[in-house]
Structure 1
Amino acid sequence: MTISLQTTLTTPTDGGSVLDTISDWAVSMMETIGAPGAGLAIALENLFPPLPSEVILPLAGFTASRGSFTLFEAIFWTTVGSVVGALILYLLGAWLGRDRMRAIVSRVPLVDLEDVDRVEAWFDRHGYKAVFFGRMIPLFRSLVSIPAGIERMSIWIFIGLTTAGSLIWNSIFVLAGFYLGENWHVVEAYADVFQKIVIAAVVVFLVYFVVSRILKIRRRRAERDPA
């Protein structure tokens, strides 16, 4: 089964691409330990965002369609993996704590504690929605677990929201891989566009943040030292 499945996984991206490498690694995990391998791969994806769930999840669905495990097992274990990965980052945030986080931020250039206060206030108002919908946004789904831990969101509410959001996201991609079969990689192409949009939005925000902070610092200096 391993040889035939990896042969079937040959895609238009052949030639030693990153996608091929991740595909081979994920398939090896799934065929070695079954559906829990898909869960382990997704847990690692949460901890290392460069590992794309948009590749791993359709692969889990495709592998299920080949009979290595059932569709239910694919969705169940990938959702378990999502929750475990998110929980590790939540615990990291809880360990970091508010005071330690503020001490670290105070040493970061261009960042004021006022910014931290605004983020905390925003998270107090929208934290539940951020955790739930954040599970469906590339990059953000990993990062949102840390402030949830820092702010000590109820761990049971955090697990519940993470499970619900992950179940929706994982089911969409696993089902797509299951029904697309050998064309599973089509999903990755569309998901890649979405991820690029998210990354572009983050870059634009960071540029805006840096420029606005530089202008703010210059205004403060001008007020202290009028010409």
Structure 2
Amino acid sequence: MAEWITRTIETLGYLGIALLMFLENLFPPIPSELVMPLAGFTVSQGELSFVPTIAAGVIGTIVGAFPWYYLGKIVGEERIKAWLDRHGRWLTLSSKDLDQSKRWFQRHGKKAVFFCRLVPGVRTLISLPAGLSHMPLPQFVLYSTLGTLGWVMLLTFAGFMLGENYDRVEQYLAPITKLVLLGLVLTLILWIFKRQRDRRGKG
């Protein structure tokens, strides 16, 4: 994959960066942790300029967030509620739980979108609840852009400073990504366990 990413940037320049970051949001296995540091290294070689490189990365990311955002809107709350009422017992979830999560997102949605754009592993997923909760598109774009700008600048600058060792950025971030995902999984497991215990107590 690294060779394909390298060829894409070498061949298409800024358009290639935007395309890769767009695909990264649709297919998370394409790592921004490799794309933007490589772009930063290319900037250090004088083949690209810093600001247009950042802009390409941000634009590609935001455009790539739209499919997930609109998927949440199209699938719709009622369909998901109906599915949860039929099958959610296997996950100890119900339509009421969805209502609670929606209220939480309405209270914290702006911060959630902003900070999740800075977190490896969940950057893409935050677009789905934003669409499901019908977060206003201008707000979604604004806070996604601000969070993405910080992430893209960090990766690009790291690649610029590391030079030919730009690929170490992904190595450094990989343990962090695994810890974040592990934390999310454990949180979900604990939450499900707590709900099961509470329901047994009520029964």
TM-score (norm 2): 0.91
Q: Which of these two proteins has the greater Rg computed from alpha carbons?
A: 1
Match of 1:207 among 186, 189, 203: 189
Match of 2:145 among 163, 180, 188: 163
Match of 2:166 among 158, 176, 184: 184
Distance 1:102 1:147 in 2: 14
Question: What is the 5 A alignment of 1:48-197?
Answer: 48-106=27-85, 107-108=87-88, 109=90, 110-197=92-179
Count of matched residue pairs: 200
Distance 1:102 1:57 in 2: 39
Does the 8 Å contact 1:87/1:159 carry over to 2? no
Distance 2:5 2:64 in 1: 16
Distance 1:115 1:50 in 2: 30
The share of aligned pairs that are identical, in percent, is: 38
Distance 2:189 2:133 in 1: 27
Q: Compute the RMSD of aligned alpha carbons.
A: 1.6
Q: Please tell me the residue identity of whatever aligns with 1:93.
A: G
Q: Please tell me the residue identity of whatever aligns with 1:50.
A: P
Deviation at 1:65, TM superposition (A): 2.1
Deviation at 1:157, TM superposition (A): 1.4
* Structure 2: segments with no counterpart, 5+ residues: none
TM-score (norm 1): 0.82
Q: Please tell me the residue identity of whatever aligns with 1:86.
A: A
Distance 1:130 1:34 in 2: 32
SS state of the match for residue 193, structure 1? helix
Distance 1:157 1:216 in 2: 36
Does the 8 Å contact 1:83/1:163 carry over to 2? yes
Deviation at 1:90, TM superposition (A): 0.9
Does the 8 Å contact 1:71/1:178 carry over to 2? no
SS state of the match for residue 49, structure 1? coil
Deviation at 1:73, TM superposition (A): 1.9
- Which structure is richer in relative contact order (CA contacts within 8 A, separation 6 or more)? 2
Does the 8 Å contact 2:81/2:94 carry over to 1? no
